[in-house]
Structure 1
């Protein structure tokens, strides 16, 4: 389709591409087709275009449609008008046709970026039985929450729709301060709280303000993958510290190792092992942090859910104004899509974190925060937690009952005194891997304990989430897992009809 091409050939080519049955308007189809040909040099500079009358008749479209497309091309400088002679293709630099890169071409990510992508491979897209960290979304008071949201959006202060730098809506910080003081023995004032878009953003803010690349962070081993990823993505040296029956044990930190800048712990309910750190170990950890000049990150992700033991006060409350940064989230007690978490900061850090958060993340969603503040202040939040606690206790009991044939033969489960998951101890890594393979074939999501190790896994097991699935599903999936485990444990080949129907 060059200069020598007649206008009839051009019209024939356009007729193949412009159709009233297309998804796009006729104006856009005509405009985009000619634009592409001109930009790629398929229509050379100086080539005359058919008249609008001729085009409209030949393509059976309105003349106004043709004129609109030509006006747009002319406005963009792709065609020019010559008085008394019509429209011509303008003289432009020729754009090469796009060429697909060879299949062997690879994108080179940074070492930090590649480490981040490697960690992303552990993300689950299936939220049925056994998916850890997923709350009972079927139990959430959706209608009540929607009414709150609609009212708070309708009554929202106009200023809330602008940029904010308060560290969160004051009403939410007030309500949250009261709740944490009473339920978690956290010592704080509203000014010490910064509302974030989840715990993950809180971790990122901590490492950006308090660490430099290459500095050391001590991390529970095994531990929470989200925190591991945040630390590694920031270029920190992550030192895994073994977890025993009392949580992280600083005395087991591998030597030699540099003094940590941060120490990350989940003392109320260690993730994923499920143990609770007793007061003597907490005091030892505080002393260790003070000796190294380190900040402790206390991740209190699901402490609301305790079933047969009294609640344990927060490490932050025990420490007073020591170097403890308390991180909480609403993802487990409400729903992950809410994307709200919070930091409780020592006084010297509060203003700096508030300003940095406003600059880096442009805080917002004040109408949603306002609805949540009312949800907490009116006692709806506490009632919801009480309901979830009772339901989760039942769901855990259902899972234990489904696994009872395997338990009778030696399968060991964690105590389950708190939280939203159980840890099933396995005989070895081979058994763990084989169960993962069988579960994948059956369409079941299993989380191996080995995934939570940064170093060589020292134990084999499965992290079994039960909070997010109804009891009938937990019963079916638990029965499947019991049969699969028994087959492997007893050295039998798993039955070919060992299937699971979600």
Structure 2
């Protein structure tokens, strides 16, 4: 029996060999669940009819047990709303009584995800939850028996068609629906690519700095990554060729480099595609927030220039809708489609069918386009508020780069280590990211920096957050430098 706090009661039918009547044994089980905290104060209990079915007893047996619990103050009935565990309980639960007197409180992950400056979190406070709930409920109610058996491992056909139509208009990517594959977010896409197309030990170009979690996932899959530097024009293609001329993969963020924010220039796009054609390499284009450009219309995807069919386009709805959806997609060249489809058939990476069909309607009915349009205006407001607050209140040791797109700002840092600033900021309730954590190599003399997410930071809270950030920078600057390790003791000369 689920409760709002995730507890579950297992009201299995009491054993017949007991001398106590069934209603007394059911009373004992529910009372014990309440006392131990398995049923939390305020939790809703099943109706008498549902409990009778779940416990395998008569409705009258449940009525008697519920009545006794109500008389003793453990349960309270609230009319048509149902029956609930009394809150607060008339006596402390045994679980609460056994707990240590002063346990540190652990904040829920969802609340932690909304700390100021955290990157990768869109404006979930502005998402049209009511519309999404209606669409999701529509497809949950319309589920047919056939939907419960087995879904297409490459994704629902309606969603693949809707994504193909959306990409053709918004990103310049022309693809057939059968070239679109639905994945469990970007990491699900990386898992498919690594299992279907890569062999352990394959070489791959990876941007330096680049998306740290993606790098870790690829290394876990056995790829050997060549750290290819980026500059004002994006990925240095010539340097990549020099480092790993026979690489099998390139992982790149051409529309908005992660984390520095520049776009891959047209000459380098063409050079990268020409090299990939000649080398037979796959270019994996991570278009993680390509919808959000602040100074111009969104740039066309690298895939739109791919006349050699070497680009695997990867997108998600984590930034444009919400991260918990964990729904992404690939646009797959014909030469890789069969291998990826076989891997998908074994791994089944696609999210639940109702969620896929709800996203398809969200796209097809125009909700997605309207939401993105509203978010562009909202992000411009929040970005501007953060930039003004940084200019007025931030430390002189912080130099802000506004960039042209994306959902975070890059701030160069002097006089303090970015990792230490992040540590102090965390204690103040902030969640910036250290630029150094995105680097594969740390060149001498290269300044550190902070990534400051603004999408989930309301404009009214920007000044307070920046004030705390300035405090964290000062704390990091005042901290004593780390002690140098002592040299090892000299070894005695051998005789």
TM-score under structure 1 length normalisation = 0.71
Partner of 2:132: 145
1:71-82 superposed matches below 5 A: none
The answer to whether the 8 A contact 1:327-1:342 is kept is yes
Instruction: Verify: 1:435 aligned to 2:421, yes or no.
Output: yes
Aligned with 1:454 (options 428, 435, 440): 440
148-157 or 349-358: bigger deviation: 349-358
Determine helix, strand or coil for the equivalent of 2:417. helix
Per-residue deviation at 1:375? 1.1
Greater Cα offset, 365-374 or 297-306? 365-374
**Counterpart-to-counterpart distance in 1, 2:390 and 2:22:** 74
Contact 2:173–2:304 under 8 Å retained in 1: yes
Indicate conservation of the 8 Å contact 1:222/1:243, yes or no: yes
For residues 467 and 280 of structure 2, what CA distance do their matches in structure 1 show? 50
Whether the aligned pair in 1 keeps the contact of 2:192 and 2:344 (CA below 8 Å) is: yes
Q: Which moved more, 1:250-259 or 1:312-321?
A: 250-259
1:184 aligns with 2:171: yes
Partner of 1:402: 389
Q: Is the 8 A contact 2:394 2:469 kept in 1?
A: no
424, 427, 431: which one aligns with 1:445: 431
Match for 1:417 among 404, 407, 410?
Answer: 404
What SS does structure 1 have at the residue aligned with 2:410?
A: strand
Q: CA deviation at 1:176?
A: 0.9
Deviations 1:426-472 (A, max 9, x none): 126x4323322321332222210011112225441001111122222
Structure 1 unaligned segments of length 5 or more: list them: 1-22, 32-51, 67-123, 495-502
TM-superposed CA distance for 1:408, in Å, is 8.9
Structure 2 CA distance for partners of 1:65 and 1:339, relative to 1, 3 Å: same
SS in 1 for 2:260: coil
Q: Which of residues 451, 454, 466 is equivalent to 1:466?
A: 454
Task: Return the alpha-carbon distance in structure 1 between the equivalents of residues 284 and 357 of structure 2.
Answer: 27
Query: 1:98-497, aligned counterparts within 5 Å?
Result: 126-165=113-152, 167-253=154-240, 257=244, 259-361=246-348, 363=350, 365-405=352-392, 409=396, 411-427=398-414, 430-456=416-442, 458-485=446-473, 487=474
Change (3 A) 1:157 1:364: farther
Q: Residue 487 of structure 2 corresponds to which residue in structure 1?
A: none
Aligned pairs, number = 386
Checking the alignment, whether the CA contact within 8 Å between 2:179 and 2:331 is kept in structure 1 is: yes
CA distance in 2, matches of 1:310, 1:392: 14
Aligned in 2, Cα 1:146/1:431: closer, same or farther, shift over 3 Å? same
Distance 1:483 1:174 in 2: 50
Following superposition, the deviation at residue 421 of structure 1 comes to 0.4
Residue 335 of structure 1: CA displacement?
A: 0.6
The answer as to whether partners of 2:234 and 2:263 remain within 8 angstroms in 1 is yes
Change in 2 beyond 3 A, CA 1:343/1:64: closer
**Alpha-carbon distance in 2 for matches of 1:459, 1:492:** 18
Q: CA offset at residue 484 of structure 1?
A: 4.5
- CA–CA distance in 2 between the matches of 1:233 and 1:413? 34
Contact in 1 for aligned 2:164/2:175 (Cα 8 Å):
yes
Unpaired segments ≥5 residues, structure 2: 1-8, 26-110, 481-495
- 1-structure distance, mates of 2:370, 2:13: 58
Match of 1:10 in 2: none
User: 1:409 Cα shift?
Assistant: 4.0
Tell me which structure has the larger Cα radius of gyration: 1
How far apart are the structure 2 equivalents of 1:390 and 1:450?
A: 31
Q: 1:405, 1:482 within 8 Å by CA — same for their partners in 2?
A: no
